Chains A and B, each alone.
Chain A
Amino acid sequence: MLTILQLALNGLALGAAYALVALGFVLVLNATGAVNFAQGDLVMAGGYAAAALATALPVPGLALLPIVMGAMALLGIAVSALAYFPLMRRPATAVFVSTIAIGLVLQNAALSLFGPEPRTAPPIWDSEPIRWGGLTLSHQALAVIAVAALLVCGQGWLLARTRLGRSLRATAQDREMAAALGIPIHAMVALSFALAAALAGAAGALLANQFFVTPTAGGALILKAYIAVVIGGWGSLAGAVMGALLVGLFETVVAAEVSYTAASALLYAALLLILLVRPQGLFGEAAGRRA
Chain B
Amino acid sequence: MARSFGATAFYAAWFLVAALHPRLPWYLPLERTVAMKVPPLSVGMDFYAKVAIAAAGGVAGFAAGWFFERRSSAAARARWRARGWTWALTLLFWCATMEVVVLSRRAPIALPAAHPERPPPPPEAED
- A joins B in a complex: no
